[in-house]
Amino acid sequence: MKIIITGAGGQLGKALVKLFSSCDYKVFSFTKRELDITSKEQIKEVFNKISPDIIINCAAFTKVDLCETDVEKAYLINGLAPFYLGTEANKHQAKLIHISTDYVFSGNQTSPYKETDQPNPQTIYGKSKLLGEELLLKNCNNLLIVRTSWLYGNDANNFVHTMMKLSEKLNSIKVVHDQFGSPTYTRDVALAIQSLMKDKTGIYHVTNSGKCSWYEFAKEIMRLIHSKTEILPISSQDYQFNTPRPSYSVLDNYKLEKEGIRLRDWKAALSTFFREEYIENED
């Protein structure tokens, strides 16, 4: 089986490349510098050369604040580019797995979002990602959309690594206490995708189980790395984000669990991350 992975330089892309390369798959990975998914010509050239069975699109413009100021780029990468991939996937009778986000919802709910809940994005990032979903659902013949959130993995650009770096410099760190989600280990998402990719279609939510605030997440990170840095709770209003963040990003893995797949609790996953990835990479 031949698999193309776009956005392979990101943390989920890296986890997928690592997992599938260790299995009986032919993996063709592309970073954003190696494949511009906004170029129909580049996509066509790559697909014709490889003739893939599955494409996993991890490429996205995820910088929430920058999406608000570079709206055209956000809609091009997050909205139109997935459609280009889906169109070419149809020509090759290939399956497209598209990675999406909790930001397609308003974040104002107080119970976990199911796959069937009505999207209502409040940011350009969320709106552009929803456009990508909608175009694919209307036009892609063999499609799996995986929504996830609060990802961390073997990559510097995530909350875990940010907290670790700050703890080396500061005696205390202020972290918001009124935004809730499910911290999710990229390896666990990759394993779930592997279980779903052959015969499942539609929209699936995939996160580690349980929920916490960013404040609680940071506290657990400090505990696991044995740091004495104090985590101080602060409200979202006092933090003054440039772009409002969802106050509630918890996703309900209803469809995933109907398949008999239940991702472990976020604390257990975080502990494994430090043991298997962080410590091993430091050796």
Distances (CA, A) of 193 to 12, 102, 145, 268: 11, 17, 10, 20
Q: 98-147: per-residue pLDDT in tens? A: 999 999 999 999 999 999 999 999 999 999 999 999 999 999 999 999 99
Token pair recorded at residue 254: 């209803």
Cα 139 from chain centroid? Answer: 22
3-state SS class at 258: helix
Q: Is 38 exposed, middle or buried (0-12, 13-18, 19+ CB in 10 A)?
A: middle
pLDDT of 279: 60
Please identify every stretch of the chain with a pLDDT value under 50, giving residue numbers as ranges: 283
For residues 53 and 25, is the Cβ–Cβ distance under 8 A? no
The per-type count for the chain, helices as H runs and strands as E runs, is 13, 12
Q: Give the pLDDT confidence score for residue 283 in this predicted structure.
A: 45
Nearest alpha-carbon partner for 56 in 146, 152, 125, 153: 146
Structural domains in the chain, CATH included, are: 2-157+183-209+249-265 (3.40.50.720)
Q: pTM, whole model, 2 decimals? A: 0.95
Catalytic residues: 125
